[in-house]
């Protein structure tokens, strides 16, 4: 007899701390139960576009369903990785549609952000974009977001697809196998991924705080420092406001050859 997560919950087979079987999680669970591998792939593709859909639920759930005989582990990994690629390509297309000019126009209007920051970010992505896409697929939050700058910078789509697939394959395989091995306790994976996600959020928040504090301090110092006085070089002059000629450092005026110094 194949035991689905809904059936286990109804009979008390799932632990009390299992994810709730309503809302988004319930919809995803039902999708995977009804459609098997293609359902898991569709859920993962949607997870890329709508972050509230939790991949930490989809992937181990797919492994659990595979353990119940509804699909093979290889099939679960294949469909979820295909879903990851399709979702990433959609975000890549959004980034490409936005383009560099729009991104720079938006950045120019943001407080404390300079276009030089955008230039440095672009230069960094050009140098490390392949690694960013590959490893970014294995970092919560950034898993989806990394596709947008790749599209903005028009990374060759074949390279983007290759490294997105490789990174997603590692991430998806890890959690599908975890759900397969944990069986009825597949939902425990969510807690560990939640810890990792919280760490990422804290690091990002600290980085943003550091950026804001640094920029505010620089702006205050720039306002407090007096502007250096401009002194004409010897032999050069400044126009006389009265229109009489040009005042030289010697104290005389040049009236353009009409009377000499006065």
206-243 pLDDT, tens digit each: 877 876 777 677 777 777 766 555 555 555 555 555 55
Mean pLDDT for 88-99 is: 91
- DSSP three-state, residue 134: helix
Domain assignment of residue 209, yes or no: no
Domain assignment of residue 108, yes or no: yes
Residue at which a domain ends, from 195, 220, 247: 195
Q: Which of 234 and 155 is assigned the larger pLDDT?
A: 155
Q: How many domains does the chain have?
A: 2
> What is residue 83's predicted lDDT score, i.e. its pLDDT?
92
76 and 170 in a single domain? The answer is yes
Residue at which a domain ends, from 167, 195, 223: 195
175 and 254 in a single domain? The answer is no
> What is residue 198's predicted lDDT score, i.e. its pLDDT?
66
Regarding beta strands 237-239 and 246-248, do their DSSP bridges make them parallel or antiparallel, or are they unpaired? antiparallel
Domain assignment of residue 39, yes or no: yes
Domain assignment of residue 114, yes or no: yes
183 and 239 in a single domain? The answer is no
pTM of the model as a whole:
0.67
96 and 179 in a single domain? The answer is yes
Domain assignment of residue 38, yes or no: yes
> What is residue 11's predicted lDDT score, i.e. its pLDDT?
43
User: What is the torsional sign of CA 92, 94, 96, 101?
Assistant: negative
Query: Is it the case that residue 123 has pLDDT exceeding 90?
Result: no
114 and 47 in a single domain? The answer is yes
> What is residue 122's predicted lDDT score, i.e. its pLDDT?
81
Query: Is it the case that residue 248 has pLDDT exceeding 70?
Result: no
Residue-wise pLDDT tens digits, 27-41: 777 777 777 788 888
130 and 43 in a single domain? The answer is yes
110 and 239 in a single domain? The answer is no
Mean pLDDT for 102-124 is: 78
Residue at which a domain ends, from 148, 174, 195: 195
127 and 40 in a single domain? The answer is yes
89 and 188 in a single domain? The answer is yes
Average per-residue pLDDT for the chain: 74
149 and 67 in a single domain? The answer is yes
CA–chain centroid gap for 170, Å, is: 19
Rg of the chain's alpha carbons, rounded to an integer?
A: 30
136 and 248 in a single domain? The answer is no
Q: What is the C-alpha separation between 70 and 166, in angstroms, rounded? A: 25
Residue-wise pLDDT tens digits, 63-85: 888 887 778 889 989 999 999 99
33 and 126 in a single domain? The answer is yes
21, two tokens: 């079987």
Domain assignment of residue 5, yes or no: no
Is the CB of residue 51 less than 8 Å from the CB of residue 57? no
Query: Is it the case that residue 168 has pLDDT exceeding 80?
Result: yes
* Structural domain boundaries enclosing 245: 234-262
Domain assignment of residue 164, yes or no: yes
């Amino acid at each position: 007899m194949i035991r689905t997560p809904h059936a286990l919950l109804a009979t008390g087979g799932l632990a009390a701390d299992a994810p709730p079987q309503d809302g988004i999680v319930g919809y995803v669970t039902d999708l995977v139960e009804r459609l098997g591998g293609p359902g898991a792939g569709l859920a993962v593709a949607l997870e890329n576009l709508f972050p509230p859909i939790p991949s930490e639920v989809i992937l181990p759930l797919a492994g659990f369903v595979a353990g119940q005989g509804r699909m093979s582990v290889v099939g679960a990994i294949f469909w979820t990785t295909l879903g990851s690629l399709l979702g990433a390509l959609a975000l890549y297309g959004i980034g490409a549609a936005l383009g560099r000019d729009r991104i720079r126009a938006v950045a120019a209007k943001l407080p404390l952000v300079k276009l030089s920051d955008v230039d440095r970010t672009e230069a960094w992505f050009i140098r490390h974009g392949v690694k960013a896409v590959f490893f970014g697929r294995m970092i919560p939050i950034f898993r989806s977001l990394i596709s947008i700058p790749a599209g903005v910078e028009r990374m060759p789509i074949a390279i983007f697809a290759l490294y997105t697939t490789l990174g997603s394959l590692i991430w998806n395989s890890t959690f599908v196998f975890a759900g397969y091995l944990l069986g009825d306790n597949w939902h425990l994976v969510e807690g560990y991924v939640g810890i990792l996600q919280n760490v990422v959020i804290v690091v990002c928040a600290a980085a943003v705080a550091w950026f804001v504090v640094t920029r505010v301090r620089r702006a205050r110092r720039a306002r407090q420092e007096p502007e250096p006085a401009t002194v004409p070089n010897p032999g050069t002059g400044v126009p006389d406001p009265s229109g009489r000629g040009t005042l030289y450092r010697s104290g005389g005026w040049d009236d353009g050859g009409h009377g000499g110094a006065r």
